[in-house]
Structure 1
Amino acid sequence: MAALTPQEMLDKYMQAEADVLAGKDVQFNGRRVVMADLPQIRQGRAEWERRVAQAQRGGRPAYSLASFE
């Protein structure tokens, strides 16, 4: 199986979050997830949002470095 892009992973996390919130039975990364797993899903989504944003910036960090000489 080919590696998924950061955007594809973000899409999967967003779909899992929406499905759990809708009360659907969800299989994610080979295991069943329920409402109690929602904080972990949201944490994963936030991580992939950061990765997507970084990829869109060409891999540069979200902050600037200042030199105080």
Structure 2
Amino acid sequence: MALNPQDMLDKYLQAEADVLAGKDVTFNGRRVVMSDLPAIIKGRQEWERRLAQVQRGGRPGYSLAVFD
């Protein structure tokens, strides 16, 4: 099953919000706490990049310069 970038981003955003609110959170089958927040943020940023790439039609988010 292919992972849907929007669904994954939504899960990371919810986990981030829940951890920040002090809620008891289980994410990807394990309990996460405030000390896990950097990993959650890193995962969210990765899924934001993946989603942006899909929305650009698979093109990278940069231009290549040609120097003659």
> Which TM bucket (shorter chain)?
over 0.9
Q: Distance in 2 between matches of 1:4 and 1:34?
A: 24
Q: TM-score normalized by structure 1?
A: 0.94
Q: How big is the alpha-carbon RMSD for the aligned residues of Structure 1 and Structure 2? A: 0.8
Structure 1 residue ranges (4+ consecutive) displaced by more than 2 angstroms after TM superposition: none
Listed as ranges, the gaps of 5+ residues in structure 1 are: none
1:66, CA displacement in angstroms? 1.2
- Please state if 1:35 is matched with 2:37: no
Aligned equivalent of 2:15: 16
Query: Per the alignment, in what secondary structure is the counterpart of residue 27 of structure 1?
Result: strand
Identity percentage over the alignment?
Answer: 78
| 3-state SS in 1 of match to 2:31 | strand
Amino acid at match of 1:65: L
Quote the residue 1:50 is aligned against. 49
Q: Distance in 2 between matches of 1:17 and 1:35?
A: 9
- Please list every run of 5 or more consecutive structure 2 residues that lacks an aligned counterpart in the other structure: none
